[in-house]
Structure 1
Amino acid sequence: MLEVAPDSPLRQATLEVERHVADSGWDQPPRLFALVHTAELLAAQPDLADQLGDPDGYTPVEQDGVPADRTVEDVLPTLMWPDTVHGCAVAVERVMLPPSAQAGLPEDPDELLRAVAEHPERQEVRIVAAVLRDGSAHTTVRGREPEDAPLLEGPDLVPGLVELLNASMS
């Protein structure tokens, strides 16, 4: 039986980012979001009340794109968020292999990329990872195929990405 992650404002913000990014389709560049308390945003801009969700939650605010000449893994550790940002999220597309397919992969980075791209068991996925300043995290992973692929979610599905996001919040 599949367990659903407990609901929380962070989970809802992560799901909102996933829906927003999914609306743009696949083959998207990495996208970065600040998470701000909705109540604080409403206090500063009350005219947004009919556009924003639960005041006890977080509103994702998309940031300028990740520079094309750098990976998201290189950019995240260099970010500094202002105190008004209570968390952050990133959406990235990656190619994953099942654990059984990882044995015997080449160590050379160029050869590894080629081997993964050509591997018959590769799976293209969209990952959305989000963290708060208190260290809590939520992650979603959706496969590109089949078209109605289920959304997997939990706090630690992609721990390396969560770790990078947490580092950007400190």
Structure 2
Amino acid sequence: MQLMPDSPLRRAALEMEAYVAADGWDQAPRLFALVATADLVSKQPDLADQLSADSGEITLVEQDGVPVDRPIEDLLIEIAWPDSVLGCAAVLERIMLPPEAEAALPEDPDEMFMAAAAHPDRQEVRLIAAVTRDGAAHSAVRAREPDDAVLLEGPDLVPGLIEQLRQTLA
């Protein structure tokens, strides 16, 4: 198995996946600002004690109050991060179907969701995407089953979510 090239963004994405996974499944989408650890400590020295020695170059700052009554894709088009934010990331759960099953789905969004949720070949997955202002991206996907599902990772596993996150940094 070939490992992904290591980078601060990759380490941050994997840290985020482990952090969210500790809370189990059936979670609302979660949104994170990515900030340079050195900048964070210089602006808020009292946080230095709270950051572990291996926090790395990027610190994840979870955003509280993300609305759960609307799709995160709709929320992302309204977000603009301040220049002090190095990047951003999102974690969300989705249902995936094989391509042949997708073609038979109804067009109505509510009916589509119900059909996908009831489909015998559905697979529940957790999607992780992280991007930085310099254009870097890292993503990961983990299936809910089996319990020991392998974490797939790469720079562009969830291209739509990556692009939506990039737009929040523009």
TM-score by length of 2: 0.92
Between Structure 1 and Structure 2, how many residues are aligned? Answer: 169
| 2-structure distance, mates of 1:23, 1:119 | 27
Q: CA deviation at 1:83?
A: 1.1
Consecutive unaligned residues of structure 2, counting only runs of 5 or more, are: none
Percent identity between the aligned chains?
A: 62
1:123-164, Cα deviation, whole Å (9 max, x unpaired): 111111110011111111111111111101111111110010
Consecutive unaligned residues of structure 1, counting only runs of 5 or more, are: none
Question: Is the 2:29–2:68 contact (alpha carbons within 8 Å) kept by the matching residues of 1?
Answer: no
Residue 83 of structure 1 is matched in structure 2 by: 83
Change (3 A) 1:166 1:98: same
Secondary structure at the aligned position of 2:77 is classed as: helix
Q: CA deviation at 1:99?
A: 2.1
Secondary structure at the aligned position of 1:32 is classed as: strand
Provide the aligned C-alpha RMSD in A: 1.6
| 2-structure distance, mates of 1:108, 1:142 | 27
Q: CA deviation at 1:56?
A: 5.6
Residue 39 of structure 2 is matched in structure 1 by: 40
TM-score by length of 1: 0.92
| 1-structure distance, mates of 2:96, 2:145 | 12
| 1:55-74 superposed matches below 5 A | 57-74=57-74
| 2-structure distance, mates of 1:129, 1:117 | 23
Q: CA deviation at 1:4?
A: 2.3
Secondary structure at the aligned position of 2:131 is classed as: strand
Residue 8 of structure 1 is matched in structure 2 by: 7
Change (3 A) 1:37 1:95: same
Secondary structure at the aligned position of 1:148 is classed as: coil
| 1:88-99 superposed matches below 5 A | 88-99=88-99
